Chains A and B, each alone.
Chain A
Amino acid sequence: GQNIDQPTEMTATEGAIVQINCTYQTSGFNGLFWYQQHAGEAPTFLSYNVLDGLEEKGRFSSFLSRSKGYSYLLLKELQMKDSASYLCAVKGAGGSYIPTFGRGTSLIVHP
């Protein structure tokens, strides 16, 4: 089976750095995604990790450790518009490429 855990909610201050963790237990591993979802809107793609290490993309970075079943999303220089839900999704084994989504972490950025 697939199990993905993320904190339910986090708060941070504008301009700060925040790290959102995701742990997973899946049948096989075929990549991990992070999506951002603002309230009432569609999820939008942020990052994809399939190998261990850090992927940096502007203010956002994503890290993966396959041996530990662990990933984090790092957001730097937080802005108010970063207040959103952040979804961790993992593709397990199999050829259908269907990811399993965590419940998401609701990030609240305050002034």
Chain B
Amino acid sequence: NAGVMQNPRHLVRRRGQEARLRCSPMKGHSHVYWYRQLPEEGLKFMVYLQKENIIDESGMPKERFSAEFPKEGPSILRIQQVVRGDSAAYFCASSPDRSGGVREQFFGPGTRLTVL
């Protein structure tokens, strides 16, 4: 059973370009979470999605950032007009489609974005 997949693993962009980060959740998972991790810092929640719905985007900057999780295909985190401060590791996690109980999150390997 493949785990959470993210690609690319490393992404280099120049200031002003767009960055697209992809996440395929574990099989059978329909909950996806995106986090950002700066060096020496903890994981900061950005957005929580279920298929075709954004459930909570309270951690996502209002401008330049957007996320989607279409009915078919991976979840996409899109950063427009990147700036140097966007350089970070972006982790995606998924959790099982079940109600109540422990919704343990399984993390992908992350995408390391470097903005030149």
Contacts and interface: CB of A to CB of B under 8 A. Distances in A.
Interface string B50-69: 00000110000000000000
A3 B49 CA distance: 24
Interface residue tally on A, bucketed by range: 20 to 34
Interface residues of B, number: 23
B25 interface: no
Given A43-B43, A87-B42, A98-B33, A48 B108 contact: no
Contacts of A98: 33, 45, 48, 56
A55 to B, nearest CB: 12
A45 B40 contact: no
Contacts, number: 47
Given A87-B42, A87-B43, A99 B107 contact: no
Contacts of A104: 42
Interface of A: 4, 31, 33, 35, 41-45, 48, 50, 87, 89, 96-104
19 contacts: A33-B104, A35-B107, A41-B110, A42-B108, A42-B109, A48-B104, A50-B102, A87-B42, A96-B55, A96-B56, A98-B33, A98-B45, A98-B56, A99-B105, A100-B45, A101-B35, A102-B42, A103-B40, A103-B42
Interface of B: 4, 33, 35, 40-45, 48, 55-56, 91, 95, 102-110
